[in-house]
């Protein structure tokens, strides 16, 4: 099964971790960390915050490699959540 890429944080996630719409149906665009009940969990998140968070995840927590973090950072502006901020 192909992992999904969250259109907010850019992380790959398994289908069990999909976000939820307001009617509790799954929303495969976003992971559960980012999107619950039809809303983003962190409304104040910016692209810049996200870049810092990804780099910290790579450096401090070893959840992802630095290369993965940089790769995600490169595609972030093309994700659905951020695309409209860059027109």
Residue 58 sits in the site that holds Zn ion (CB under 5 A): no
Residue among 4, 6, 57, 72 that touches Zn ion (CB under 5 A): 6
| 3 state SS of 60 | helix
Parallel/antiparallel/unpaired status of strands 39-40 and 35-36: antiparallel
Among the listed residues 8, 18, 27, 50, the single contact to Zn ion using CB under 5 A: 8
Q: Quick one: which of 81, 86, 85 has its CA closest to 29? A: 81
* 76 part of the interface to Zn ion, by CB under 5 A: no
Does the protein bind Zn ion through residue 18 (CB under 5 A)? no
Is 9 a binding residue for Zn ion by CB under 5 A? The answer is yes
């Amino acid at each position: 099964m192909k992992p999904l890429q969250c259109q907010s944080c850019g992380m790959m996630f398994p289908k069990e971790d999909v976000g939820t719409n307001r009617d509790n149906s799954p929303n495969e665009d976003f992971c559960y960390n980012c999107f619950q009940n039809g809303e983003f969990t962190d409304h104040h998140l910016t692209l810049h915050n996200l870049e810092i968070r990804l780099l910290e995840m790579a450096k401090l927590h070893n959840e992802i490699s630095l290369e993965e973090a940089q790769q995600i950072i490169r595609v972030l502006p093309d994700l659905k959540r951020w695309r409209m901020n860059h027109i």
